[in-house]
Amino acid sequence: MNLNSLNTITLFSIFSLCWCLIALAVQVYLSKKRRSGSYRYQEYSIKNDSAKYDSAFKAIIYNFTKAMSPFYKESAKLYPVKFFIGLVMHLGIFCSFIYFFLLIIISPSILILPLQLLHFFGFFFLLTSMAAVVLLINRVTNIELKEISNFDDYFSITMMICFLASISLNLFGVVSNNVVLAITSFVFLYVPFGKLRHVVFFFLVRVDFAKKMGHRGVYPL
């Protein structure tokens, strides 16, 4: 780690990342099933033909691969445009975490990369940021979505827009690293409070549902 770049903002961003991880871990722990004695989930029914698969592992793999395929899952199949836009935005978010770690660890070595490459990634993040804008516009204009949404929903997507846009601008050299780190810190601070905690719970619920369906012989299909 480049000690010269360990300024306050960087330290704060590391601190808020730790806060995020700890808070999420606490929430995950609190969301676990709690039962008395040695009773474990659905272990108690007899295995026979209806449970010919009964392999939690295979069911879990299935639930993260084929079950999420846009050719199968209706929330993707019946909404191809929204699915694509959401995919682009999530790709951007995934890459942004990599970018965050790069900034912390090897910055300012990023500047050694050729300018065209930086600008290319800049456009990439700009695109993902625009995808997030589309999602916000959709949430604000769609009557049904408006009725089920609350402040947290709007705030989260706005945060994502700012987050991705800041990285894009940073790559174009418009804003400094500190701005990116500041916004990232704020995102990390906020994640455990709102719906952004689905970053962790997504995996938990898919595994949980897969275990249930695998035990019943429904997954993998």
Partner 1 sequence: MKRFKVDFKKLLLAEQVFKDILNKNGSSHLNACVRCGLCGQSCHIYLAEPVVQNLPVSKAQQVSALFRRYHTLSGKLFPLLVGAKEFSEESLNELAESVFERCTGCGRCSINCSIGVDVASIVRMGRNILASIEEIPSELHDTTQNQLQTGNQMSITEQELNDTALWIADDLRMETGVEEIKIPVDQVGAKILYLVNPREVKFFPLSLSAAAAIFASAKESWTIASRFFDVTNYGFFSGDNKSAAIITNNIFEEAKKLQVQEIVLSECGHGFRAFRWEGANWLERKYPIPVRSVLELILEYIKDERITLDKSKNNIKVTLHDPCNLVRWGGVISPQREILAAAVMDFVEMIPNREQNFCCGGGGGMLAISECGERRIKSGKIKADQIRNTKAKIVATPCHNCADQLLELNKKYALGIEIQSISELVFNALKWITK
Interaction site with partner 1 (CB under 8 A): 27-28, 30-35, 37, 39, 42, 44-46, 48-51, 63, 67-68, 73-76, 78-79, 82-83, 86, 142-145, 147-153, 155, 192-195, 197-198, 201-202, 204-206, 208-209, 212-213, 216-218, 221
Nearest distance in Å: CB 204, partner 1: 4
Instruction: Give the nearer residue to partner 1 in terms of CB position, either 160 or 164.
Output: 160
- Compute the distance between CA of residue 178 and CA of residue 1 in angstroms, rounded to an integer: 17
Nearest distance in Å: CB 117, partner 1: 33
Question: Which residues lie below 8 Å from residue 68, measured CB to CB, with a gap of 6+?
Answer: 76
Query: What end-to-end distance do the CA atoms of the chain give, in Å?
Result: 47
Question: Which residues lie below 8 Å from residue 131, measured CB to CB, with a gap of 6+?
Answer: 85, 86, 88, 89, 92
Instruction: Give the nearer residue to partner 1 in terms of CB position, either 111 or 147.
Output: 147
Instruction: Give the nearer residue to partner 1 in terms of CB position, either 101 or 202.
Output: 202
Nearest distance in Å: CB 158, partner 1: 13
Buried b (16+ CB within 10 A) or exposed e, 131-148: bbbbbbeeeeeeeeeeee
